[in-house]
Structure 1
């Protein structure tokens, strides 16, 4: 399982558990909390009405006095009140009064007068000076339709002469309870959605940062020319940015070490032949010999010295290109014009071998690149074609656009690339015989071309062709 998915699942597991616990507590507390608030208001109402009912109960006129008349009119009262979106148009209170024995002497429901409630919890406790309240079904036929009853003592001085009970159906609270639950659930879903977005964003940030670092590390491990990935604004100066910098420093140090070791090994191998030739010629020149031999050995020393100088110059140029991570000094380059300019520099060699050039480069085909590096690459490709072309042969140049790319081609009429060398011609220091009387090349030219091509985001291919027989170079570059 990927780390991004693990982080997301872990985040939602913790969030889900926390939300479940909090939501359950909230939902479980809404109903009892609302009922406690109603009971509190019923207590105030019961004690207030008990004070008003006391004179009529002491006078024995509780069923006919002013208090009874006012209470019997309650069902006819229409409050017409809007309470937070709920319309209230009736009074839900039921008022009942019992005497000191617990017998109902007044009730807004006339049918209850005369009932014995002395054993009912609200009346029983209140007659004994305690707080009396109960919540019970309104009728045996409707066990879920419960009513809350809160009682208050009716006093004559310090003596309890009766009990006044205020009742209200619990069902009247359901709209308020349901609205509270709905709002809690709505906000919970909104919180879950916001948390989902934040979790996805956080997971994406961590997973993408790790993915970029992993891709960079894999590219470096495969020897590709990779740039240090940008961690983005979200990363800032976090551990991801520090890790990227640490990986980059490690890559530079490891590459530098491997690069030096590889170059020392290959350079030592390549310098042996010219140095051995120079040493042998120098030893022979120290002994008496005919003038012709002396001239021949001196010329050999000069040629081998030039070969060493050429090898060192090409190594330095190749090392500089291989260490580049991105192009520098980028400008618009007319590839056709640059090719013709390079051909002019090679004109003496073309004349020496009596080579003809067929120019199919056209005009106006430009791209963005480093002019100096591209000129060096073109020089290497043309130089190889001249070396392998037979005297009096033809070099055919072409340049055309294919979609978003420019394709530069070069064909010669030489022997082509042997089958055993097709997969190795771009290797460093690998070279093929150039013909009678020609020294072996450094084997760095095509390696240089490939590095320059990769820096420009292009691709170079070399293969054999027939009719006429020869070798073809196809260099594709983004236009």
Structure 2
């Protein structure tokens, strides 16, 4: 399982459990809080009614006096009140009064007159001088039928003469409780959704940053030119930069070691030829042999100079990750410049160049974006290679292809014998070279490798193939200028 998915699932689990826990805590506190508020109200109500009932209780008219009449009238009052989001249409207080023995003398519902309530906590505790309260089910099997009873002593001249109890069903609070629960659940669900959305966004952000770092690491492993990630979590960006720095140091060390080894190996052959020819020149030789050995020294020295020059150029480009001086380039003009530079070689060999790089049906030259110097050197190497393998008095054909949108494909085709099958997969290797026709000497083996590096640096490609009717064709693909 991917790290991003693990982070997301872990975050979902933590937020989900936290949300459920918080909601349960809130819901568990709603009912007690509402009932506490109701009990507080019942305490005030019971005490004020106890004061109002004191005169009738003292005169033994509690069942038929003014207090009883007013309470009965209260029970028959109509009410239609909108309390916040729910409507109240009934009056729910039950009021009863007991004497000092706990016998019910008055009941607003009329159902308990004469009964002994002395063992009921509201009456019993009040008669004992304590706070009297109880919550009892009206129906034993129905938990929702609980009724809260709050009692207050009836006092006359500092002495208790009775107990007044106010009762109210707890289920009358259910609309308020239900509304509170709905509100809590609704806002809890919204907050949970927002938390999960934020978690998803953060996880995707971190996952994208890790993905960029992972792609960078894979590209480095594959030897591709790539920059470390610059967007995303700062720690991941710093890690990418640290990896890039480490990669450059390691590659630099390995690169130097590899190049020193390769350079010394490739220099052995021309140096040995120069040394051998120089030793022979010390002897008395005929003029013809002397001239031949002197020519060998010059040619091997030239090969050695080319080898060093091209290795320095290749080393410079292989360590570059991006282009520096990017401009719009007219490919036709650049190709004309390259042909002019190689005109002396072309004239010596009698080879001509036929170029056709205009887009079909258009008079405009193809344009690309890149570095002029690098692309000029790449084209010189391609044309040089084509000249080396072309027979005298032949034609090199340069064409362009615009069949792929956004890409200019330049092909350079010679009229030689083609590339041996065993060499097709190795022509772009560093120092790999084939003998030139009519000569036993090889090139430096760095030209096509340099062209490949230039193509990759421009986000293009280079390929080499044999043509069916003879000769070899190099195809250089480069991104076209979007303008």
TM-score normalised over the length of structure 1: 0.95
Q: Residues 336 and 399 of structure 1 are in contact (CA less than 8 Å); yes or no, is this contact kept in structure 2?
A: no
Q: How far, CA to CA, are the matches of 2:324 and 2:32 in structure 1?
A: 75
Q: Distance in 2 between matches of 1:240 and 1:361?
A: 46
CA contact (8 A) 1:358 1:394 kept: yes
- 1:436 counterpart residue number: 438
Is residue 75–residue 90 contact of structure 1 (8 Å, CA) maintained in 2?
A: no
Matched with 2:278 is 282
Deviation, structure 1 residue 22: 2.3
Aligned to 1:252: 248
Residue 301 of structure 1: which of 297, 300, 305 is its match?
297
Which range moves more in the overlay, 289-298 or 119-128? 289-298
Residue matched to 2:398: 397
Distance in 2 (CA, whole Å) between partners of 1:34 and 1:172 is 11
Structure 2 Cα separation of the partners of residues 361 and 440 of structure 1? 31
1:97 corresponding residue in structure 2: 97
Q: Is the contact between residue 407 and residue 474 of structure 1 (CA under 8 Å) also seen in structure 2?
A: yes
Q: How many angstroms apart in 1 are the aligned matches of 2:368 and 2:94?
A: 94
| Root-mean-square deviation (Å) | 1.8
- CA offsets 1:319-370 (integer angstroms, 9 cap, x no match): 1111110111011111122112211211222222222322211241111111
Matched position secondary structure for 1:283: helix
SS at the partner of 2:115? Answer: coil
Residue 373 of structure 2 corresponds to 372
- 1:239-294 CA distance string (max 9 Å, x none): 32321121011100111011111101110111011111111122122223333333
Bigger drift between 285-294 and 457-466 goes to 285-294
- Closer, same or farther: CA 355–139 of 1 in aligned 2, 3 Å: closer
3-state DSSP of counterpart to 1:73: helix
Question: Residues 54 and 156 of structure 1 are in contact (CA less than 8 Å); yes or no, is this contact kept in structure 2?
Answer: yes
Q: 2 CA distance for matches of 1:142 and 1:406? A: 85
Q: Aligned to 1:185, what secondary structure does the other structure show? A: helix
What is residue 116 of structure 1 aligned with on the other side? 116
TM-score between both structures, scaled by the size of structure 2? 0.94
User: Mean Cα displacement is larger for which, 368-377 or 60-69?
Assistant: 60-69
Once the two structures are TM-superposed, the CA of residue 299 in structure 1 deviates from its matched residue by 2.2
8 Å Cα contact 2:228/2:237 also seen in 1: no
Q: Which blocks of at least 5 consecutive residues in structure 1 are unaligned? A: none
User: Deviation of residue 144 (structure 1)?
Assistant: 3.3
Distance 1:144 1:346 in 2: 103
Further displaced range: 277-286 or 326-335:
277-286
Structure-2 residue corresponding to 1:22:
22
- 2:472 counterpart residue number: 471
The unaligned stretches of length 5 or more in structure 2 are 359-363
What aligned pairs does 1:113-192 form with structure 2 within 5 A after superposition? 113-139=113-139, 144-192=144-192
Q: Secondary structure at the match of 1:332?
A: strand
Match of 2:347 among 351, 362, 365: 351
Displacement of 1:87: 3.0
Secondary structure in 2 matching 1:149: strand
- Looking at structure 2, the residues matched to 3 and 345 of structure 1 have their Cα atoms a distance apart, in angstroms, of 57
Give the Å deviation of 1:93.
Answer: 1.3
Instruction: Tell me, in whole angstroms, the C-alpha distance in 2 between the residues paired with 1:73 and 1:314.
Output: 114
Structure 1 pair 142–258 and aligned structure 2 pair: CA distance change class (3 A): closer
C-alpha separation in 1, matches of 2:47 and 2:468: 116
Checking the alignment, whether the CA contact within 8 Å between 2:125 and 2:132 is kept in structure 1 is yes
Shift of 1:140: 5.9
Q: 1:142 to 1:9 in 2, by over 3 A?
A: closer
CA distance in 2, matches of 1:192, 1:256: 52
Deviates more, 1:102-111 or 1:40-49: 102-111
Which stretch shows the higher mean deviation, 339-348 or 281-290?
281-290
Between the two proteins, the alignment pairs up a number of residues equal to: 474
